[in-house]
Structure 1
């Protein structure tokens, strides 16, 4: 039986117009992790100001808790640290 790859979700506020930011982050993660991720889902949310990134059930980033939005380096490192802590991210690790 094949190993199930994790599901990454980006829940973003539609009232704040954060769709493009969420899509850009999804693109960055898919470019870096490719088929290591089973799915990347964008989840619109209208509750106001919400921006959360989870890997399966593990919260990796929450806008208010973590002080804003992640940069690509921080986000890729957090995903890598869960998926494959020994993996090099090349120039992103510098």
Structure 2
């Protein structure tokens, strides 16, 4: 059962481009970092080259707008900035 009071992250990926593995890997990374602080990470199939990550209906990353795919560090920082801006991500925040 999902906790509807916690944030929901949605990763929409293109099935035509076969980006399911990339989407699944990013979901795994987010779950390993934010675990109990998020209610759900959903994978939503799409078409037309879409790759978008939303957190509570706020676009965190969009492939065309942001020129490609996020690296894990950038993705985690953007999710953190949306959920809990003061949170320290440990080595991810180090130079």
* 1:41-90 Cα deviation digits (max 9, x unpaired): 000012x1000000011000000000100000000000000111111000
RMSD, aligned CA: 1.3
Q: 1:68 — aligned with what?
A: 68
Q: Give the equivalent residue in structure 1 for 2:29.
A: 28
Which structure carries more helix by proportion? 1
Helix, strand or coil: the match of 2:70?
A: coil
Instruction: State how far apart, in whole Å, the 2-side matches of 1:3 and 1:65 are.
Output: 29
CA contact (8 A) 2:4 2:39 kept: no
Q: Which residue of 1 aligns with 2:89?
A: 89
TM-score by structure 2 length?
Answer: 0.93
Instruction: Structure 2: state its 5+ residue gaps.
Output: none
Q: Structure 1 CA distance, aligned partners of 2:60 and 2:32?
A: 18
